[in-house]
Structure 1
Amino acid sequence: MKQRKLEIMLEKVKGFERPDVNLEQYVTPAPIAAEVLHFAFMHGNLQGTVYDLGCGTGVLAIGAKLLGAERVIGFDLDPSALQIARQNASMMGVDVEFVQCDISGVPEHADTVIMNPPFGAQCKGNDRPFLSTALRVADVTYSVHNCGSHRFIKSFIEPAIISDWYETGFPIKRTFKFHKKDVELVKVEIYRIVRRDGST
C-alpha cells in the first residue's frame, strides 16, 4: 500500500473525546502516522509482532495492521482511549489487540515497536520510560520526539544505536486551553533505533 493511500485511510481514525493534558494526549496526525509507518514498512519491520506503546486511539497500531503486520498490540493506560481504539479498529476492519497497562507492565517480546511517546512538555523525561520499555521488548523501534533530542536519544539508548533519523513537521491541532493557534506546526524528529543484539 502506498503512503498516500494509507494516510487517506488513517484520516478516518477517531481521536480522543476528552484528551488529558497530563498524559500529553495529542492525536498523531494521519500524514505523520502514515509517514512513520511507511518508514518502518520500507525497512521490512512491519512483519511479525508489532507493539504500539502509548497507543491512544490506535492510529499507529491500526496502520501497522493495514500494512500487513502479523500481530499488533496497542498498550495504553487510559481505558477511554482504548475503548475508542477498539471502535476504530472495528470500523477499519482490522484485528488489533488493545491492552490497558502502565508502560512498565508491557510484556516481552515484539519484533518492532512503533510509538509517539509523550514529548515531556508537561513533565520533563516523560518519554524515558517509553524508550526504556521499547528497548526491553523489541529489536527495532520507531519513535517520534521533540526536535533537538538527538544527543539525548543517542546517549540514553546505548548500547542500542540510531540507524536512521530525520526531521519533519508535526501539526498539532488546538487541543487544550493554553493553545493559541488552531494548528501549531511543531518540528519533530523520527528515529529508527536498533538494539545491538538485534539482527534487524
Structure 2
Amino acid sequence: MKQRKLEILLEEIEGFSDPELELEQYQTPSLLAAEILHFAYMQGDLADSIQDLGCGTGILAIGAKLLGARKVVGYDKDPEALEIARKNAEKLGVEVEFVCSDITEVSERVKTTLMNPPFGARVKGRDRPFLSSALRTSEVIYSIHNRGSLAFIQKFIKPAVITHSYVAKFPLKRTFDFHQKEREIIEVEIYRIAVHE
C-alpha cells in the first residue's frame, strides 16, 4: 500500500472525544502516522508482532495492521480512548487487540513497538516509562519525541542504539483551553531504535 493511500485511510480515524491534559492526549496526525508506518514497513519491521504503547485512539496500531502486521496490540490506560480505538479498527475493517493497562505493566514480547509517548511538556520525564517498557519488550522501536531530544534518548536507551532519526512536522490542533492558536506546527524527531543489534 502506498503511503498516500494509507494516509487517506488513517484520516478516517476518530480522535479523542474528551482528551486528558495530564495524559498529554494529542492525536497523532494521519500524515505523520502514515510517514512513520511506511518507513517502518520499508525497513521490514511491520511483518510480525507489533505493539502501540499509549495507543490512544489507535492510529499507529490500526495503520500497522493495514500494512499487514501479523498481530497488533494497543495498550492505553484510558478506557474511553480504547473504546474509540475499537470503533476505529472496526470502521477500517482490521483486527487489533486493545488492552486497558498501564504501559509499565506490559510484559508480552513483540518484534516492534510503535509509539507517540507524552513529550513531558506537563510533567518532565513522562516519556521515560514508555521508553523503558519498549526497551524491555521489543527488538525495534519507532518513537516520536520533542525536537532536541537526541542526546537524552541516546543516553537513556543504552546499550540500544538509534539506527535512524529524522525531523518531522507535527501539526497540533487546538485541543485544550490554554492553546492560543487553532493550529500550531511543532517540530518533532522520529527515532528508529534497535534494542539488539
TM-score range, shorter chain: over 0.9
The CA distance in 2 between the partners of 1:123 and 1:4, in whole Å, is: 35
- For 1:44, the aligned partner's letter is G
The CA distance in 1 between the partners of 2:179 and 2:119, in whole Å, is: 16
Aligned to 1:36: 36
Q: How does 1:38-187 map to 2 (within 5 A)?
A: 38-187=38-187
The CA distance in 1 between the partners of 2:75 and 2:165, in whole Å, is: 24
TM-score, normalised on structure 2? 0.99
1:51-71 CA-to-partner distances (Å, cap 9, x unmatched) read 000000000000000000000
1:107 shift after superposition? 1.6
1:108 shift after superposition? 2.3
1:79-100 CA-to-partner distances (Å, cap 9, x unmatched) read 0000000000000000000000
The CA distance in 1 between the partners of 2:98 and 2:37, in whole Å, is: 18
The CA distance in 1 between the partners of 2:183 and 2:3, in whole Å, is: 23
Where 2:98 maps in the other structure, the secondary structure is strand
1:113-159 CA-to-partner distances (Å, cap 9, x unmatched) read 00000000010000000000000000000000000000000000000
- For 1:183, the aligned partner's letter is R
- For 2:8, the aligned partner's letter is I
The CA distance in 1 between the partners of 2:13 and 2:33, in whole Å, is: 11
- For 2:125, the aligned partner's letter is G
The CA distance in 2 between the partners of 1:157 and 1:39, in whole Å, is: 21
TM-score, normalised on structure 1? 0.98
- For 2:32, the aligned partner's letter is I
The CA distance in 2 between the partners of 1:25 and 1:194, in whole Å, is: 26
The CA distance in 2 between the partners of 1:168 and 1:69, in whole Å, is: 24
- For 1:109, the aligned partner's letter is R
Where 2:44 maps in the other structure, the secondary structure is coil
The CA distance in 2 between the partners of 1:29 and 1:188, in whole Å, is: 12
The CA distance in 1 between the partners of 2:89 and 2:169, in whole Å, is: 26
1:34-77 CA-to-partner distances (Å, cap 9, x unmatched) read 01101100100001100000000000000000000000000000
Runs of 4+ in structure 1 over 2 Å off: none
Where 1:80 maps in the other structure, the secondary structure is helix
1:11-53 CA-to-partner distances (Å, cap 9, x unmatched) read 0000000000000000001001001101100100001100000
- For 2:26, the aligned partner's letter is Y
- For 2:117, the aligned partner's letter is P
Identity of aligned residues (%): 60
